[in-house]
Structure 1
Amino acid sequence: MCFAGCALAQIKVGVVSSASGPIALVGIPQKNTVALLPKEVAGQKIEYFSLDDASDPTASVSAVKKLINEDKVDALIGPSGSPNAMGVIQFAAEAGVPMFAPVGTSAVVLPMTEQKKWVFKTTQNDDLIAHALVDHMKASGIKSVSLIGTADPYGENWIKVMTELLGAANIKLATVETFQRRDTSVTAQALKTLAARPDAVLIAAPGSSAVLPQTTLFDQGYKGKFYQTHGAALDDFLKLGGKKVEGTMLAASGMLVLSEMPATNPIKAIATKYVADYERLYGSKPATFGANVYDAGLLLQAAIPAALKRGKPGTPEFRSALRDAIEQTKELAATQGVYNMTAADHSGFDKRGRELITVKNGQWAAFK
């Protein structure tokens, strides 16, 4: 994808999204959002190269290598999936190209390493979301929780985070089950979960894969409380789950409940503009996952002027300076929260980047 005037572009940005395949509900709004990213910053035009990896981690690697070696990009946005992003970090780092990971798992930036210092995450870290869920569990008197997660970096990190937080909260982790994103049945995992009789079940899965475990347990007669991660934060979760997901609790970006946000909330105006611009272009509202790419554009827009003082686009000096400038981001309000990056924290969110949300009458509603 190359927008009008790109022949004169000097800054090149590669975007890899899963616009097809099993995580397309995540990837499509991310790919579509490219058209809304800044086209010129500090007098420099920006050219975007957008590729679809079809949700395949191997294809993600090929796409990133092409963008780095052939298109000579100065920055990367993507890939969409957690396994996909984990698999390309080494190539971005080796090439010295800063990368924005619009994915769920905190493992793309934690623990910080020499390679991960090139990666910046535009979604809330798992522990920020998990703390809100566990606090609600404690307040609700829940004593035992079962977890069903995807057998990949997304689910694995949630298992790690929840094991620690539930232990600290004196809540029993009754069972842990995993499944593949492509699975069409989770009956066995659901039956084992049901047999443990937990007070609540947390499902840690991104996109449409978050629906199947919950609807399966519902059909099997489970009557406890359901929790979901920010991976389920899209309207298609409501459409696919129907009445079976009523009452679900999750913590996620306030974008899901924009109309209920006070005007004083730092993300409201920016998120409202993004949603309106997206709807004007595509005739539908974006899933919050698209906003993760939009925020990458805002972070780039803020960092480019400082980077231009140290090098010209297309040079290692510019890319290194761009990485340094992104790491120094302070109080940047965006659609997902307010970014404050440090050398140790390449996500940069605080509690302003999450809201406790429930499903009420088939719609997302701020929990009150």
Structure 2
Amino acid sequence: MNLRRVSSLLALMLASSFATADIKIGVIASSTGPTAAVGIPQKNTVALLPTEIGGQKVEYVVLDDASDPTNAVTGVKKLISESKVDALIGPTTTPAALAILDFVAESKVPLVTTVGSSAIILPLDDKKRWVFKTTQNDDLIASALIEHMTASGVKTLGFIGFNDPYGENWFKVFSTMAEKAGLKLLVSERYNRTDQSVTGQALKIITARPDAVLVAATGGPAVLPQTSLQEKGYKGRIYQTHGVATNDFIRIGGKAVEGTLMAGGPMLVAADLAATNPIKSVAQGYIKAYEGKYGAGTMSTFGANTYDAGLLLQKAIPAALKKAKPGNLEFREALRDALEQSKEVVGAQGVFNMNAQNHNGMDQRARVMMMVKDGRWVLLKE
């Protein structure tokens, strides 16, 4: 009889322990290195994510890849094999995201990535079916830029972007769309994230005399081509991608980035949004929470991408918990399926509607045109 009672007690204790197993979410962010201006707000935002979902405790394991894709691979392997994470958020850069794809797919761990390039989810195949994305796809941003260019009388263009997958994917997407819109691309240049000078590239662009220039880069390194062009006398319009959707871009660039035109997520100009916009309250709630913890003016859309990743997981996890417990393949598969069924999830950057063919799910509500004016981003009214 005593033996039976002991056995029953042990079984009860094990069942209780199993029922309250923590959900583990791994986060990779470039909080040091050339892309730290992007990665720091992503890392900081983790502190604002829910620590309990569906009655289960949530543990976040955060690693820094130092803006290096090799480190990102090492970190993801560690998170998967040692920490046994149920899901991943990040990394910060497109090269890092592409580098970890094989390991994510092989381990079947859902990845909610925060990078800009659509190449991380398209074309959607067996490998990329485990990846979801909270940043606007390049074509969504590019179409807004092109609409503004054509409406502003721009006829000819120059292009300068990173010499990596971010810059190359942007060139591929943008050049095709620009040509269809009747815009003529006169010159295309590249540079590395760690370059200290792009004088040669700037002079080539100026010699071609385009009406406008698009810079396809992210974070602090995106300032370099713009300052170089202006120092060498370029007077045309300068557009940037959503890779500079942060106040740090203005802080680093100063007067040199006044007048910069960008299409990006609405969170950066949340105060200017209409009261009827459903994104406004979520965006302002995130800003209040982030700046309340880290100081006024510190928020950025890059952190909001991590916040939205957390919102998507917060919506998907309860559905997954109905099918399996954390810590095993069944739960990860159920979580992947639930993410794929996300409907009208309102985030700080947009509204998400995903399906088996679309692992981004953002529409035109996730982008607005804005401009640097008097040292801040302001919404351009349509």
TM-score range, shorter chain: over 0.9
Aligned counterparts, 1:297-312, within 5 A: 297-312=310-325
Q: How many residues align?
A: 361
Equivalent residue for 2:199, pick from 178, 187, 201: 187
TM-score (normalizing by structure 2): 0.93
Pair member with larger Rg: 2
Aligned counterparts, 1:243-262, within 5 A: 243-262=255-274
Aligned counterparts, 1:159-238, within 5 A: 159-238=171-250
Aligned counterparts, 1:1-368, within 5 A: 10-284=22-296, 285-368=298-381
Indicate conservation of the 8 Å contact 1:9/1:46, yes or no: no
C-alpha distance in 1 between matches for 2:22 and 2:375: 47
**Amino acid corresponding to residue 91 of structure 1 in structure 2:** F
Q: Secondary structure at the match of 1:268?
A: helix
User: Where does structure 2 lack aligned partners over 5 or more consecutive residues?
Assistant: 1-19
1:90 deviation in Å?
1.0
Q: Secondary structure at the match of 2:307?
A: helix
Map of 1:5 onto structure 2: none
C-alpha distance in 1 between matches for 2:186 and 2:228: 18
C-alpha distance in 2 between matches for 1:359 and 1:283: 21
Q: Secondary structure at the match of 2:106?
A: helix
1:286 deviation in Å?
1.5
Q: Secondary structure at the match of 2:83?
A: coil
**Amino acid corresponding to residue 323 of structure 1 in structure 2:** R
Indicate conservation of the 8 Å contact 1:9/1:47, yes or no: no
Map of 1:4 onto structure 2: none
Q: Secondary structure at the match of 2:45?
A: helix
**Amino acid corresponding to residue 328 of structure 2 in structure 1:** T
1:282 deviation in Å?
1.6
User: Where does structure 1 lack aligned partners over 5 or more consecutive residues?
Assistant: 1-7
* TM-align CA RMSD: 0.9
- Cα distance change of structure 1 residues 154 and 219 upon mapping to structure 2, 3 Å threshold: same
**Amino acid corresponding to residue 218 of structure 1 in structure 2:** Q
C-alpha distance in 2 between matches for 1:85 and 1:190: 29
Indicate conservation of the 8 Å contact 2:21/2:326, yes or no: no
1:213 deviation in Å?
0.1
C-alpha distance in 1 between matches for 2:295 and 2:268: 18
1:38 deviation in Å?
1.1
TM-score (normalizing by structure 1): 0.97
Q: Secondary structure at the match of 1:14?
A: strand
Q: Secondary structure at the match of 2:157?
A: strand
C-alpha distance in 1 between matches for 2:364 and 2:237: 24
CA-to-aligned-CA distance 1:274-325 (integer Å, 9 cap, x gap): 1111112122432110011111110001001111121110110100010000
1:164 deviation in Å?
0.8
1:9 deviation in Å?
5.0
1:237 deviation in Å?
1.1
Structure 1 stretches of 4+ moved >2 Å: none
